């Protein structure tokens, strides 16, 4: 406040450790962070780790459901667009994907609230009151990923179905569905899996905006609130956790390659 005394000011600096040299504070913070201790919140006085762990599952749930929506819709759309190139479905889906890539999350979220929550009353507008409350924020968060996955799937499928082994399989009389799913799609999935992994990481970071729009009780909204409160320990901890999550997701994506491509498994065994 404005009526603080010099004594109270110095006592607060001492409690926060701000009277120590910078390097000592930095090394101490890193050592504590490695052990999962990010200090205490300036605004609530609670341990930062407890504040984050109480909300992290909500963010992961939202990002996971958003990616399930993006993958379940995006991959079939990309496959159908590739197998029916230049058809009406292909043109419509590519225009929709272009709109999905270009559309800001906050605008889409507000439009969904306006139409499906305030207008039709089908879904809650905010809070995690029921499982139906997941629908609008998951669609909002997954729309951009859906568009990217659709375009990537179409691109890789178009390249794959023109390969010689696909023509050979068709010449042998293999069913078209088998050719597309077992031969073409499986070989086209590696770039798509890379895209899914990256988009999942982006979804966790992008949840900051979506959680704010829908008042979702996750770490994204906590981050925005902490910035407003100037709660530095919470801001620093969430940024570090998001960076670690993004790295872990990319590592898992690389490991998953081995399940899709036997050549990668062979390289692992030789290594």
Cα(216)–Cα(219) distance, rounded to whole angstroms?
9
pLDDT for 91 equals 92
Q: Per residue in 94-116, is it b (16+ CB within 10 Å) or e — as a string? A: beebeebeeeebeebbeebbeeb
What is the number of other CB atoms lying within 10 angstroms of the CB of residue 166? 17
What is the number of other CB atoms lying within 10 angstroms of the CB of residue 34? 8
Q: Are 151 and 97 in contact (CB under 8 A)?
A: yes
For the chain, residues with pLDDT lower than 50 are: none
Q: Give 154-167 pLDDT, tens digit per residue.
A: 999 998 888 888 88
- Opening angle at CA 130, ends 75 and 119, nearest 5: 80
pLDDT for 70 equals 92
pLDDT for 263 equals 63
pLDDT for 238 equals 92
In this structure, what token pair is assigned to residue 23? 């390097």
Three-state SS at 47: strand
Q: Are 229 and 42 in contact (CB under 8 A)?
A: yes
User: What is the DSSP secondary-structure string of 153-189?
Assistant: HHHHHHHHTTSHHHHHHHHTT--HHHIIIIIIIHHHH
pLDDT for 124 equals 82
């Amino acid at each position: 406040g404005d009526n603080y005394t010099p004594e109270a000011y110095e006592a607060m600096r001492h409690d926060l450790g701000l009277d120590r040299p910078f390097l000592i504070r930095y090394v101490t913070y890193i050592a504590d962070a490695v052990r999962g201790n990010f200090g205490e919140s300036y605004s609530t006085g609670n341990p930062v780790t407890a504040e984050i762990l109480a909300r992290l599952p909500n963010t992961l749930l939202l990002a996971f459901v958003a990616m399930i929506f993006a993958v379940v819709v995006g991959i079939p759309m990309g496959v159908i667009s590739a197998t029916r190139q230049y058809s009406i479905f292909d043109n419509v889906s590519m225009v929709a994907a272009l709109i999905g890539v270009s559309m800001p999350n906050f605008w889409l979220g507000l439009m969904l609230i306006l139409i499906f929550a305030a207008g039709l009353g089908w879904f809650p507008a905010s809070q995690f009151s029921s499982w139906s409350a997941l629908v609008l924020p998951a669609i909002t968060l997954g729309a951009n990923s859906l568009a990217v996955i659709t375009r990537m799937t179409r691109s890789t499928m178009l390249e794959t179905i023109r390969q010689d082994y696909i023509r050979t399989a068709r010449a042998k009389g293999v069913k078209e569905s088998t050719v597309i799913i077992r031969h073409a799609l499986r070989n086209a999935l590696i770039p798509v899996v890379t895209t899914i992994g990256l988009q999942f990481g982006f979804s966790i970071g992008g949840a900051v905006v979506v959680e704010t729009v829908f008042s979702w009780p996750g770490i994204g909204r906590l981050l925005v609130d902490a910035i407003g409160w100037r709660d530095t320990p919470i801001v620093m901890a969430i940024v570090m956790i998001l960076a670690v999550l993004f790295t872990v997701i990319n590592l898992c994506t690389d490991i998953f390659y081995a399940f899709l491509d036997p050549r990668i498994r062979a390289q692992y065994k030789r290594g």
